[in-house]
Amino acid sequence: MSIHESVGFAILGAGMIADYYKEAISANADLGARLHAIGHYDPTRFDEISACFDVPCMTLDELLDDNSINVICIGTPSGQHAAQAIAAARAGKHVIVEKPMALNTYDADQMIAVCEEEGVKLGVCLQSRSLRLFRRVHEAIQAGDLGELTLGLLTLPYYRPQTYYDQAAWRGTWALDGGGILMNQGIHQIDLLVWYMGDPVEVTAYADTLKWDIEVEDIASASLRFANGALGAIVGTTTAAPGFPYRLEIYGTRGAIQLEGETLRRWQLADPTKAIVTPPPIATEIADAVDASDPRGTPKTGHIAIVHDFIAALREDRPPLVDGYEGRRSLAAVLGIYQASGVVPNN
């Protein structure tokens, strides 16, 4: 793709996340990003949705037939991601898909294979990887500043009331949501954990539904072993009223990093004079409970960065920042926890 060509985007799905993609596309207009259409399944809502997004509202088939559309951003319920991504790829469209990319590893592998077969890019919107703080942590780990990693801890004390699940019939279901605190709310942070620590090779876990009237888990805990022998733990719930920031902690033989929400709480090394990566500023205020009780509190900067990188990947003919293979890793980790806990969706 030429650097001077515009990039036509469409958004599939008109829920909350569609607003994130609309802003992300607009923010990248200087790179040629243009929103051409939005897709929805209900024709009776087309006029309303079109007015909200200032572009035509179409069926999926119409999006696939529109030659002005180069990229489709899929923001539908998780259980629909795989089939829609594969259909888009078969039509020659590049794909950015929301998390989780699919609900089982077979579908994820099919998405990757079809996109490669059709010569289109597949990006997964695990946008935390695009943010400067989290990238700096990754750089420090890769540089060896923390020494040999020994322990990774993730705490997800979130809150989602019953009204959150009741607002759409698909929420809290295995078939379309794919899971609860781990698959839906916590997968971004689980993605960071495996990005930093590597893929877990052994898992023991518990998962249950203690409070909410849903199919999926509202509480879970897991003990992990990584390939280098390091250990890890994930604990999470959507019952922790009023909701608190997540905590992610990475420990090694030469130092440790503690994150709370989108902020850095501690970055301490045994010998700071040997550091290769310069730490960002330490937060001096308590982190807001971003995504702890209201998903709308999540900043749009991550989606903006993901779209920016995806356009660059098209121009440079390289994989996106989080491609299908990387997106599959957090999915596999969550499914491994479900299997170990006895909650076994089709994976």
Looking at residues 308-335, what average pLDDT do you find? Answer: 98
C-alpha angle with apex 166: 160 to 169, nearest 5 degrees? Answer: 120
**The three-state (H, E, C) secondary structure of 29-94, written as one string:** HHHCEEEEEEECCCHHHHHHHHHHHCCCEECHHHHHHCCCCCEEEECCCHHHHHHHHHHHHHCCCE
Q: Which CATH number fits the domain that encloses residue 63?
A: 3.40.50.720
Q: Say if residue 266 is in the same domain as residue 133.
A: yes
Q: What gap in Å lies between CA 259 and CA 339, rounded to an integer?
A: 28
Question: What is the model's pLDDT at position 347?
Answer: 65
Cis status, amide bond into 100, omega within 30 of 0:
yes
Which pLDDT tens digit goes with each residue over 171-192? 999 999 999 999 999 999 999 9
Pick from 134, 74, 124: nearest CA to 100: 124
pLDDT digits (tens, 9 = 90+) for 252-301: 999 999 999 989 999 999 999 999 999 988 877 665 555 566 666 678 99
Q: Is residue 279 part of a domain?
A: yes
Question: What average pLDDT does range 10-20 have in this prediction?
Answer: 97
Q: Percent of the chain beyond pLDDT 90?
A: 91
For 57-71, 154-168, 278-292, 318-332, which range has the lowest pLDDT when averaged over its residues?
278-292
Q: Is the peptide bond before 242 cis (omega within 30 degrees of 0)?
A: yes
Please write the tens of the pLDDT for every residue from 198-228.
Answer: 999 999 999 999 999 999 999 999 999 999 9
Q: Which domain holds residue 278?
A: 129-295+329-341
Q: What is the CA radius of gyration of the chain?
A: 20
The three-class DSSP label of residue 308 is helix
**To the nearest whole number, what is the mean pLDDT of the chain?**
95
Shared domain for 333 and 222, answered yes or no, is: yes
Is residue 21 located within the same domain as residue 50?
yes
What 311-319 contacts at long range (C-beta under 8 Å, 24+ apart), as own/partner pairs, is 311/7, 311/28, 311/31, 311/32, 311/33, 312/31, 313/121, 313/123, 314/1, 314/7, 314/70, 314/71, 314/94, 314/121, 315/1, 315/2, 315/3, 317/1, 319/121
- The whole-number pLDDT of residue 216 equals 98
Question: Do 250 and 335 lie in a common domain?
Answer: yes
Confidence at residue 5, expressed as pLDDT on a 0 to 100 scale: 82
Q: Which residue has the tokens 């920031």?
A: 245
69 and 140, same domain (yes or no): no
CA-to-CA distance for 237 and 207, rounded, in angstroms?
10
Q: Are 227 and 199 in contact (CB under 8 A)?
A: yes
- Rounded CA-CA distance 323/305 in Å is 14
One domain for residues 82 and 194: no
Handedness of CA 76, 94, 26, 66 (dihedral sign): negative
Q: In this structure, is residue 88 part of a structural domain?
A: yes
Q: At 222, which CATH number?
A: 3.30.360.10
Same domain, 274 and 199: yes
Strand partners, 123: 96, 323
User: Cα–Cα distance between 44 and 46 in angstroms, integer?
Assistant: 6
Name residue, tokens 């539904």: 209
Each residue's pLDDT tens digit, 98-139: 999 999 999 999 999 999 999 999 999 999 999 999 999 999
Residues 6 or more apart whose CB falls under 8 angstroms from that of 51 comprise: none
- Beta strand pairing call for 263-269 and 255-260: antiparallel
**pLDDT of 180:** 98
Residue 35 to residue 25: CA distance in whole angstroms: 7
**Segments of the chain assigned E as strands:** 7-12, 33-39, 57-58, 71-74, 94-98, 122-125, 149-157, 200-208, 219-226, 231-237, 247-252, 255-260, 263-269
Predicted pLDDT of residue 287:
55
Beta strand pairing call for 122-125 and 94-98: parallel
CA terminus-to-terminus distance, the chain: 36
82 near 102, Cβ under 8 Å?
Answer: yes
Residues 310 and 289 in one domain: no
Higher pLDDT, 31 or 295: 31
- Shared domain for 316 and 284, answered yes or no, is no
Q: Do residues 172 and 101 share a domain?
A: no
Domain count, the chain: 2
